[in-house]
Amino acid sequence: MSRGAKKWRSIESSIGTTWTSSSGALLGSFVPIERTSICHGAGVRPRVVLFDIDGTLVDCAGAGRRSMNAAFELEVSAPRALDGISFGGMTDRAIVRQGLERAAVAITEALIAAVLARYVEHLAAALEATTTFRVLPGARDAVLRSRGDHTAVGLGTGNVRAGATMKLARGKLDDLFTFGGFGCDAELRAEVLRRGVERGAESLGVDASSCEVLVVGDTPRDIDAARAIGASSLAVVTGAASREDLENAGPTFLAPTLEHPEALAALGR
């Protein structure tokens, strides 16, 4: 067992369970509502909007990669295992698995958990030390514009829940979200989105199957995952993916930034 595997139990809650942000928001938690308690307007479908984080809402200037590299160095003595791997649209679990495969070590759930625990340990300091961190254009206003009657707005991110909260808190966006699908829910991004939709539907008091879903992201993987669950997608050219790559992935909507009229129209229903 690796050095961090034993330690994992003591900080497991920082990755896979409810994490309280500085503003008091509880990302990933929700209060169940009786499905008969909300009467939706005639002809108005309930809606769930899920936002990606990295490259969509914020630019962490490499803090996540540096933290993951540190985790690999400490746990498996392979600080360069992730070189050349594009993190865009991947879940944290998938990133760790791919890195461990490259490092040619036996992959176990305990080891994946240990690496993620180390990653979370390093991330807060890495974010604080990053002087070029920025909130991307129109991020806060886009989330607020998405809100409305019969609409739940949450996260659909590959970040583990603790990492998601830290990144949003660094940009003072952590007050905007109360639920989501996270990289600790599943390894496949489509399954992460399904969990986000289920939680959003639960908050509205409806079945997930009755919801219109919009996924907002910046990578072809976001678009592909949205399509896999039957959702619409809004792609913004604010991450590492080029406009051409996003166009080729076939999003429902495509805009340069979240503040562009095309994006605002898609978000406002």
The pLDDT tens digits for 151-202 are: 999 999 999 999 999 999 999 999 999 999 999 999 999 999 999 999 999 9
**Closest-CA residue to 217 (of 56, 86, 61):** 56
Q: What is the pTM of this model?
A: 0.86
In eight-state DSSP terms, residue 174 is G
Mean pLDDT confidence for 215-234: 99
Q: Are 40 and 46 in contact (CB under 8 A)?
A: yes
Q: Are 151 and 214 in contact (CB under 8 A)?
A: no
Rounded CA gap, 231 and 241, in Å? Answer: 20
Mean pLDDT confidence for 122-142: 97
pLDDT at 27 over 90: no
pLDDT at 29 over 80: no
In eight-state DSSP terms, residue 41 is P
- Output the pLDDT for position 7: 38
Rounded CA gap, 89 and 168, in Å? Answer: 17
The CB density around residue 77, as the number of other CB atoms within 10 Å, is 11
Say which residue the tokens 């305990």 belong to. 110
pLDDT at 49 over 50: yes
- Output the pLDDT for position 41: 53
In eight-state DSSP terms, residue 136 is P
Rounded CA gap, 31 and 237, in Å? Answer: 34
Q: Look at strands 26-27 and 19-20 and give their pairing.
A: antiparallel
Rounded CA gap, 40 and 28, in Å? Answer: 24
Whole-number average pLDDT of the chain: 88
Q: Where are the beta strands (DSSP E) in the chain?
A: 19-20, 26-27, 47-51, 58-59, 134-135, 151-156, 180-181, 212-217, 232-236, 253-255
Q: For 209-234, give the secondary structure using H, E and C.
A: HHCEEEEEECCHHHHHHHHHCCCEEE
Q: For residue 121, give every residue at least 6 positions away whose Cβ sits within 8 Å of its Cβ, in sequence order, or none.
A: 11, 71
Residue 269: band (very low, low, confident or very high) from pLDDT cuts 50, 70, 90: confident
In eight-state DSSP terms, residue 175 is G
